[in-house]
Amino acid sequence: MAVSGSKDFELDVTEYIEEAFERCGLVMRTGYDLKTAKRSMNLLFADWANRGLNQWTIGQVSISLANGISEYPAGLLTISVASSASFSVSETITGGTSGATTTVSAVVSFQSVQSTIDVLAAVVQRSNTDYNIQRISRGDYLGIPNKATTGRASQFFVDKQITPTITLWPVPDTTTDVLYFDRLVRIDDADNYLDTLQMPFRFYPALSAGLAYYLSMKKAPDRVSLLKSIYDDEIARAISQDADRTSFSVVPATNGS
């Protein structure tokens, strides 16, 4: 017998909801059933963010540092100024290569920054050389005696507010250094019922089981324990498979002990 040759199996939001209802021993019948299940799915994604289960959403951001500025957004700021390639009279912007001093008639979007869950690692690039910088805690940053010290940044503090920021120390002393950092970003929401979801194939079982468990708390309380047990198993397997893997070597002791 011939195999299918296809590797494109993917469920949309409605199909996940149908699967979850069936695991609860129920049939989805009303529009509210769809609404309450989609809400549970998005809450499940928030739980996954707390577990760090967004490894497939890791992205790298680069920010050119400014002389004397220590605090930077933990993501990219976006702004739309005009549909044309050049700025209009009311839509010019002041910058390092501009002589204009008028205003931008648009609102800066913080959506990218606010989607940042955490910063995983960072380097500062100077003269085409990357230098690792160490992450410190809020308390460690607070304890720095002179926060105005300038130089090449060697430490950073992530302030995980609704709009998270990165604070560097020492304060950058040039305009040529570039900050590169890897950040963990939240999963795209389940908005439309025909949307597919932003996750790798190996997490499909965990999502199906998790949504069924969340729904059972509202729709099938007699199945909560069973569905929770299944979800715990599925998510544990997904977590173990998604962990970073590095090479290692075993060296025998040579000191006779």
pTM: 0.80
The Cα 55–Cα 198 span in angstroms is 11
Q: Which of 177, 176, 137 has its CA nearest to residue 153?
A: 177
Residue with the bigger pLDDT between 15 and 247: it is 15
**pLDDT on residue 81:** 56
**pLDDT on residue 197:** 94
Q: 3-class SS at 84?
A: coil
> What band does 240 get if pLDDT is binned at 50, 70 and 90?
confident
The region of weakest confidence among 3-7, 78-82, 235-239 is 78-82
> What band does 254 get if pLDDT is binned at 50, 70 and 90?
low
What value does the mean pLDDT take over residues 114-126?
Answer: 96
Can you give the residue ranges of every domain in the chain? Answer: 13-54+187-239, 58-185
Task: Quick: pLDDT tens for 177-229.
Answer: 999 999 999 999 999 999 999 999 999 999 999 999 999 999 999 999 999 99
Q: Are 39 and 211 in contact (CB under 8 A)?
A: no
Q: Which of 187, 184, 203 has its CA nearest to residue 195?
A: 187
Q: 3-class SS at 52?
A: coil
Q: Is residue 8 over pLDDT 50?
A: yes
CB atoms within 10 A of CB 16: 23
**pLDDT on residue 52:** 82
> Terminus-to-terminus CA distance in the chain, angstroms?
59
Task: Quick: pLDDT tens for 147-186.
Answer: 999 999 999 999 999 999 999 999 999 999 999 999 999 9
**pLDDT on residue 9:** 94
Task: Quick: pLDDT tens for 34-60.
Answer: 999 999 999 999 999 998 878 889 999
Q: Are 8 and 156 in contact (CB under 8 A)?
A: no
**pLDDT on residue 256:** 58
Q: What is the CA radius of gyration of the chain?
A: 24
**pLDDT on residue 73:** 95
> What band does 257 get if pLDDT is binned at 50, 70 and 90?
low
Task: Quick: pLDDT tens for 97-107.
Answer: 444 544 555 66
Residue with the bigger pLDDT between 108 and 25: it is 25
**pLDDT on residue 104:** 54
Q: Is residue 241 over pLDDT 70?
A: yes
